[in-house]
Amino acid sequence: MFRTGLNELDAVIAIARERSFRAAARILGVSTTALSNAVAKLEGDLGVRLFNRTT
């Protein structure tokens, strides 16, 4: 069994609320890349895609 870090869950919640990786990253005080990497790690751990990404 794995344990998800609180930061990864905070990232998912912020992205869902803001509907934007960029806005969520700004609110959390991290780079968009760091936020995207955290979500990608969580998605990999869960084996499911949580967000559809667009450019």
Could you read off the pLDDT of 7-46 as tens digits, one per residue?
A: 888 899 999 999 999 999 999 998 999 899 899 989 999 9
For the cut 90, the answer to whether the pLDDT of residue 55 exceeds it is no
For the cut 80, the answer to whether the pLDDT of residue 47 exceeds it is yes
For residues 31 and 38, the answer to whether their CB atoms sit within 8 Å is no
Q: Which two tokens stand for residue 38?
A: 């955290």
Those residues with Cβ within 8 angstroms of residue 32's Cβ, 6 or more apart along the chain or in another chain:
21, 22, 25
**Confidence band of 5 (pLDDT split at 50, 70, 90):** low
For residues 5 and 37, the answer to whether their CB atoms sit within 8 Å is no
- Alpha helices, DSSP H, located in 1-55: 6-18, 21-28, 32-46
Rounded Cα–Cα distance for residues 21 and 44 (Å)? 18
Residue 48 vs residue 4, higher pLDDT: 48
Domain boundaries in the chain? Answer: 6-46
